[in-house]
Structures are given as C-alpha cells and as structure tokens.
Amino acid sequence: GRKGPHDLDLFRTVLDVNLVGTFNVMRLAAEAIARHEPDGNGQRGLVVNTASIAAFEGQVGQIAYAASKAGVAGMTLTAARDLAQYGIRVVTVAPGIVDTPMMAGFSEEIRAGLAAGVTFPQRLARPEEYARLVTMIAEHDYLNGETIRMDGALRMAPR
C-alpha cells in the first residue's frame, strides 16, 4: 500500500465480492440449470461470468481487483469441465473500459484519455456490445471454457 502494508481486510472484501460472489452465483445457477431437460444435443444452459482485462494486466493499485478478476478467469475452464456432465457451458467475458453510468461521473477529458489508449476502435466499449457478445456466446454452442477479451486490443500500462 501507499502507507505501509496493503489492507488485508480490503483485499479480502474485494475477493469476497468479485470472486467468491461470482462462484456463489455460478454454483446456485448451475444447480437450477441442471434441473432443466437437456436439448437434443444434451445441453441445458450456459453460465457467463464477468472478469476484466485487469485479470491479465492489472495496474498499480489494483492488486485486489486484478487478483479477484484473475480468479474469475481461472475458474472458467475448470467450471466448464465440472459442469459438462450436466450439459452446462461456462464462458467468461473480460471487458476493457466500458461506458457505464459509473464512467459518466468522469470528466470528458478523462474519458477521452481512456479512449485514446484503446487500439481500435479508439473509444470506450458500449454496454450493448457486452450484451451482443453474450447473445453470440449463447447462440454459439461450441464456445465453452473460454475467457473472451472485449477490449478493442487495449493493453493496460502499469499506470
């Protein structure tokens, strides 16, 4: 941390929310999905989790967030393997910078600076693009056990 050792309780809280929370929702959703009748190909459903590109290149000060999102990405293949016996696929989306209501609180200058770091298209992602990606994943029944980056080829610098 900036003023000594990183706060352990804060680290645990972030992991509880982002990683343990994702695992908990996934396990309960999988239980409910497994009760459905499979389709003609033995499929019952799909779980889509959300990580972040911070899982792969977390920035200074993001140790808890990056670790929690890396954990979500790390669960993906194992969860897909575990849930295959029930006909459930698992895919994770790792978005870059998305123009959410939270981003609306930033100045236009900050938002433009963030967009400038995106390779192409040089803008922030739109929430509906995330939704379209999830729809595509649902329709493409051979996608399983994969973490898909949705980031315009953005690679985060250390700062």
- State which residues form the domain around 55: 8-150
pLDDT of residue 84: 98
CATH of the domain at 95: 3.40.50.720
Domain count, the chain: 1
Active site residues: 65
CA distance 123 to 153: 11
Helices 8-15 and 63-83 cross at an angle (nearest 10°) of 30
Which pLDDT belongs to residue 57? Answer: 95
- Confirm if 3 and 58 have CB atoms less than 8 A apart: no
Helices 63-83 and 21-34, interaxial angle, to 10°? 20
Does a structural domain hold residue 156?
A: no
Note the pLDDT tens digit of each residue in 104-155.
Answer: 899 999 999 999 999 999 999 999 999 999 999 999 999 999 999 999 999 9
The rounded distance, in Å, linking the Cα atoms of 115 and 98 is: 10
pLDDT in tens, 90-114: 999 999 999 999 888 999 999 999 9
Tell me whether residue 157 is in a domain: no
> Confidence band (pLDDT; 50, 70, 90) for 3?
confident
57 located within any domain: yes
Q: Is residue 159 part of a domain?
A: no
